[in-house]
Structure 1
Amino acid sequence: MRNPTTEDIVTEARNFFSLIGMAVFLARGCARRKLQKSMG
């Protein structure tokens, strides 16, 4: 087991946050669609 370097940690964090960003983006899209359905 090698020590994780700062670069490794940064890469992991970036991947993690990009995943969260995708999830939030998709959730927002679904919410907007539901709102439009209930409004219209």
Structure 2
Amino acid sequence: MTTAEIREDKLHMILEKAENGDPKAIKVLKEINRILKQV
């Protein structure tokens, strides 16, 4: 199993970008969500 650590400020920045429609940020959030569902 892969362990990923994301600092809270980095995650907040990704969330803000996704809310503004940044496709890369949305892709990252989808990937995080997919990983979390496996746990």
**TM-score, L = length of structure 1:** 0.44
**TM-score, L = length of structure 2:** 0.45
Q: Which has the larger radius of gyration?
A: 1
Q: Higher relative contact order at CA 8 Å, sep ≥6: structure 1 or structure 2?
A: 2
